[in-house]
């Protein structure tokens, strides 16, 4: 199972939010590139980087993009990037600066024609972010509800050609309350032929064990993003990687 340490960028700093709330911000490092190197040194093979400012404003922000470029140049790990990626032009821009995989969410939820075109053009280089609150997809940096059920959404996106999903239970994100295995299983079984990456809630090594166990019935759960648990120290990346 692939492990993605999370680096959330806000104002050029490495932060974590609670349940996606911008008024619940904890700063963990003012040097995100150094943090990226720390995760590489601990054995990470991927990084999951989010431009929180971009997610809220609607396009990636220069200060945070400069940091992403530095990570690519100085750390060298493949980066899965999201936050304000809402057009084919921005996907292209991110791939051109060296991002390995771009994540679209709001654009996919609001414009099926745009999503289908992006899937056709970029294939495996794009993942769809499925950010759900109470089972309903949230958009615009998690600030608004789309009104669409998450299971229905992933089935619709798979029908348009989506190659990968990242499922986040917003209520669990940054709260250290465990993974919502039921919701994750519903998403994974709804699109059995499409890889799904879990996000939100990893707190202990028991959560990693539970995800590995879930793969027995939902083998398309291919990875997990780990954020707050690493920064709060409830798990170490070395121990998580040893499980997988």
pLDDT tens-digit readout, 136-162? 998 776 566 767 899 999 999 999 999
Q: How confident is the model at residue 178 (pLDDT cuts 50, 70, 90)?
A: confident
Q: Judge whether residue 185 has pLDDT over 80.
A: yes
* Per-residue CA distances from 192 to 1, 67, 183, 230 (Å): 16, 36, 14, 29
Catalytic residues: 8, 131
Q: What domain count does the chain have?
A: 1
What's the predicted TM-score (pTM) here?
Answer: 0.94
Closest CA to 221 of 173, 172, 166: 166
Residue 173 has pLDDT above 70, yes or no: no
CB atoms within 10 A of CB 101: 23
Strands (DSSP E) found in the chain? 2-10, 13-18, 21-29, 47-51, 79-82, 101-104, 126-133, 136-139, 144-149, 165-169, 196-199, 221-226
Give residue 117's domain range: 2-243
Radius of gyration of the chain (CA): 16
Which CATH number is 208's domain given? 3.20.20.70
Range 74-98 average pLDDT: 97
């Amino acid at each position: 199972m692939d492990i993605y340490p999370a680096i959330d960028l806000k104002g050029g700093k490495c932060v974590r939010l609670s349940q996606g709330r911008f008024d619940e911000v904890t700063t963990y490092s003012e040097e995100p590139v150094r943090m990226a190197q720390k995760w590489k040194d601990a054995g990470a093979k991927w990084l999951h980087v989010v431009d929180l400012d971009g997610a809220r404003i609607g396009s990636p922000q220069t200060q945070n993009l400069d940091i992403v470029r530095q990570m690519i140049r100085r750390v060298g790990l493949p980066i899965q990037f999201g936050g304000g990626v809402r057009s084919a032009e921005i996907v292209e821009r991110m791939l051109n600066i060296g991002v390995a995989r771009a994540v679209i969410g709001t654009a996919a939820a609001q414009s099926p024609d745009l999503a289908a075109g992006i899937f056709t053009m970029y294939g495996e280089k794009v993942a769809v972010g499925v950010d759900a609150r109470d089972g309903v997809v949230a958009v615009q940096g998690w600030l608004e509800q789309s009104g669409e059920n998450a299971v229905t959404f992933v089935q619709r996106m798979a029908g348009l050609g989506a190659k990968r999903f990242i499922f986040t239970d917003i209520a669990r994100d940054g709260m250290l309350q465990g993974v919502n295995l039921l919701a994750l299983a519903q998403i994974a079984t709804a699109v059995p032929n499409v890889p799904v990456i879990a996000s939100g809630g990893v707190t202990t090594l028991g959560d990693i064990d539970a995800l590995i166990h879930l793969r027995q019935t939902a083998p398309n759960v291919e990875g997990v993003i780990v954020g707050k648990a690493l920064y709060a120290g409830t798990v170490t990346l070395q121990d998580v990687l040893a499980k997988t």
